[in-house]
Amino acid sequence: MTRVDCASTINSKLCDKFSVDRYPMLFWGPPKKFVSGGWVPKQGKSEIIPIESGRTADVLLGWINKQLGSSYSLDDGKYENEHLQTNTSDPGQIAKAIYDVEEATSTAFSIILDHKMIKPETRTSLIKFLQLLVAHHPSRRCRKGSADVLVNFDDLCPSSTMLVNNEEAESCSKNGVLENYQICGKEVPRGYWMYCRGSKNDTRGFSCGLWILLHSLSVRVEDGESNMAFRSTCDFVHNFFVCEECRQHFYEMCSSVSTPFKKARDFALWLWRAHNKVNERLIKEEASLGTGDPEFPKAIWPPKQQCSSCYLSPSKTSKENSKIDWDENEVFKFLVSYYGKELVTLYKESEQRGSGQTEKIVAEELVASTNAVVVPVGAALAIAVASCAFGALAYIWRSRQKNRKYKYIYSLKNI
């Protein structure tokens, strides 16, 4: 069962598609029908039907039990939160994160434009990071979109003009032609998170998606690119993060590196260590301020249940309880697998089926997107009675991206 808030702007198209004209409005039907189509009033042959027989929990529960041949009761509290999947315990969940990486990329680009961050002194760092995205972004459409921006960047934001004309520099960032470029395609940003969705509105989301992007880049670079990727990442964070404390902490870790990286492995492991240092800081902050996500508390990563081989055997571990002795060879293997192959599994499978199938797969993978909440029947009925926003049962993926021509960049890895 799914609840959709039709008062939320992001759900307006979905609710229009199902002709929601009153609250609460309840529908019943096979999940695949909600994914593939809508609902039309007085449509006789539709497998999706509005539930008109009662608005109380008891009456509605009796109606559902009759349809399913089941015997659910309102005290099925043991199923509460059964739908919540803890990302750290389910490696397969990372496959959904490819869409969050696209969301984070698009959001970061929007922040840069909205805050007018493209200036003469930051221009080069943005170009270098775009080069990194073109060569190694895990999403094909983000690679194309980044290439489109990069090919035209000199025309859009000429360095000679920016150095002498501050007004031109501002127009490059805001209310300029760069706003017409959708770095990950027309479907993005979608306005919600999948793998990175927190249990509270102000947790996870963008920061989670950005970390996954950086890790996915780190495991895709080649040895000869490792130091360039490291410097590009550090400069990007230093110039374009809006969180001052986050930016300073990250750049301090960057500044502590005195020897250039020669191996991709070294860069990937450095970023992994940096992420854990950030988590260590946030664990203390969230504990003192009470700002953490109760369903997704910050932790040292990866946990043993996800990579037991990453931890040295007890006989070899440090005697200090606060210190973990890692097998970094195993950690690197895990990073390459997790942020490489597993991250793009769902994405590549959906690409092979075509854009129409992509929409279907994503919708089926995440029935509970865009503020919708999936709950077991017993708990859902109580919510249904109290809520005035119980509507459709699925989220329809946005209209497929139209074909557009892209200019291609060759040999970007050597730039």
- 362 or 50: which leads in pLDDT: 50
pLDDT of residue 32: 73
Per-residue pLDDT, averaged over 74-84, amounts to 49
**Of 1-5, 120-124, 169-173, 348-352, where does the model show the most confidence?**
120-124
pLDDT band with cut points at 50, 70 and 90 for residue 345: confident
Could you report the per-residue pLDDT of 276-323, keeping only the tens digit for each?
999 999 998 888 888 888 888 888 999 888 888 999 876 444 444 457
Residue with tokens 């859009």: 156
**pLDDT surpassing 90 at residue 326:** yes
Angle among Cα 197, 199, 202 to the nearest 5 degrees reads 75
Helix (H) or strand (E) holding 2: strand 2-3
DSSP 274: H
- 261 or 370: which leads in pLDDT: 261
pLDDT of residue 36: 67
Nearest Cα residue to 215 out of 383, 358, 332: 332
Q: Dump strand ranges (E) for 37-158.
A: 49-50
pLDDT of residue 338: 92
Could you report the per-residue pLDDT of 186-245, keeping only the tens digit for each?
888 888 888 888 887 778 889 999 999 999 999 999 999 999 999 999 999 999 988 888
Evaluate if pTM is beyond 0.75: no
Query: Percentage of the chain with pLDDT > 90?
Result: 28
pLDDT of residue 84: 39
Contact 139, 98 (CB under 8 A): yes
Nearest Cα residue to 231 out of 218, 212, 242, 219: 218
DSSP per-residue codes, 191-217: S--STTB-SSTTSBTHHHHHHHHHHHH
pLDDT of residue 367: 41
Per-residue pLDDT, averaged over 328-344, amounts to 92
Per-residue pLDDT, averaged over 159-178, amounts to 54
Q: How far apart are CA 332 and CA 336, in angstroms?
A: 6
Could you report the per-residue pLDDT of 81-136, keeping only the tens digit for each?
434 345 444 556 788 789 899 999 999 988 888 888 888 889 899 999 999 999 99
pLDDT band with cut points at 50, 70 and 90 for residue 57: confident
pLDDT band with cut points at 50, 70 and 90 for residue 413: very low
Could you report the per-residue pLDDT of 352-398, keeping only the tens digit for each?
655 555 454 444 444 433 444 444 555 454 444 434 333 333 332 23
> For the chain, give me the number of helices (H) and strands (E)?
16, 4
Contact 63, 51 (CB under 8 A): yes
Contacts of 142 (CB under 8 A, 6+ apart): 101, 102, 105, 133, 183, 184, 185
pLDDT of residue 372: 47
Residue 113, class by beta-carbon neighbours within 10 Å (0-12 exposed, 13-18 middle, 19+ buried)?
middle
Q: How far apart are CA 364 and CA 353, in angstroms?
A: 14
Q: How far apart are CA 293 and CA 412, in angstroms?
A: 40
Contacts of 2 (CB under 8 A, 6+ apart): 367, 368, 372, 373, 374, 392, 393, 394
pLDDT band with cut points at 50, 70 and 90 for residue 52: confident
pLDDT band with cut points at 50, 70 and 90 for residue 54: low
pLDDT of residue 320: 45
Angle among Cα 145, 149, 153 to the nearest 5 degrees reads 170
DSSP-based three-state secondary structure for 27: strand
pLDDT band with cut points at 50, 70 and 90 for residue 55: low
* Beta partners for residue 373, in sequence order: 3
Q: How far apart are CA 223 and CA 156, in angstroms?
A: 32
- Tokens, residue 69: 């041949």
pLDDT of residue 285: 87
The single-letter code of the amino acid at 27 is: F
Q: How far apart are CA 226 and CA 135, in angstroms?
A: 13
Q: How far apart are CA 60 and CA 74, in angstroms?
A: 11
Mean pLDDT for all residues in the chain: 75
pLDDT of residue 12: 80
Which string of b and e fits 186-220 if b means at least 16 CB within 10 Å? ebbbbebbbbbbbeeeebbbebbbbbbbbbbbbbb
pLDDT of residue 317: 45
